[in-house]
């Protein structure tokens, strides 16, 4: 079982690298403003988890620079996720607002919806 998961993980990472999405280009000032906002976000994830890959690809498409923390390989990050978010499940997005309040969003679809609503370019 471990070997099958390991092989699947490598395939996922390979395909993700080969078919890596292109990020949107924003004017430098706009990107800097978005970088300031995304500095408040942290994605807890596993490298080869398909749901995490889906979120990372959405981030890449939108050129969102969000810190990622590997909750599988790093004990401290795993503990932060369990203590803060309430369970060991990835992906999970930690959002700290300007007042210091913290929210945790689980589920890849919920995270992607949040990112699209917060950062997608306005349609004309």
101 neighbors 84 (Cβ within 8 angstroms): no
- Distance in angstroms (rounded) separating the CA atoms of residues 91 and 111: 8
105 neighbors 88 (Cβ within 8 angstroms): no
Site for ligand GSH in 102-121 (CB under 6 A): 107-109
Which residues are 45's β-sheet partners?
Answer: 70
* 85 lines the binding site for ligand GSH (CB under 6 A): no
> In this complex, which beta carbon is closest to ligand GSH, that of residue 35 or of residue 77?
77
Closest CA to 44 of 121, 111, 101: 111
Residues shown for the chain: 124
* 64 lines the binding site for ligand GSH (CB under 6 A): no
Site for ligand GSH in 2-61 (CB under 6 A): 46, 49, 51
> In this complex, which beta carbon is closest to ligand GSH, that of residue 34 or of residue 48?
48
Using CB under 6 A, count the residues that bind ligand GSH. Answer: 10
DSSP assigned state of 24 = P
- Distance in angstroms (rounded) separating the CA atoms of residues 82 and 28: 36
> In this complex, which beta carbon is closest to ligand GSH, that of residue 49 or of residue 64?
49
| Shortest Å distance, C-beta 39 to ligand GSH | 23
* 91 lines the binding site for ligand GSH (CB under 6 A): yes
Binding site for ligand GSH (CB under 6 A): 46, 49, 51, 88-91, 107-109
């Amino acid at each position: 079982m471990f070997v099958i998961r390991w092989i699947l993980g490598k395939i996922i990472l390979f395909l993700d690298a080969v078919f890596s999405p292109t990020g949107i280009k924003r004017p430098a000032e706009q990107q800097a403003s978005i970088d300031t906002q995304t500095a408040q976000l942290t994605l807890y994830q596993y490298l080869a988890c398909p749901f995490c890959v889906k979120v990372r690809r959405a981030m890449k498409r939108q050129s969102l620079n969000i810190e990622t923390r590997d909750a599988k390989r790093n004990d401290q990050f795993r503990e932060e996720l369990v203590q803060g978010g309430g369970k060991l499940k990835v992906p999970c997005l930690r959002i700290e607002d300007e007042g210091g309040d913290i929210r945790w969003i689980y589920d890849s679809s919920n995270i992607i919806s949040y990112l699209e609503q917060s950062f997608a370019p306005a349609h004309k």
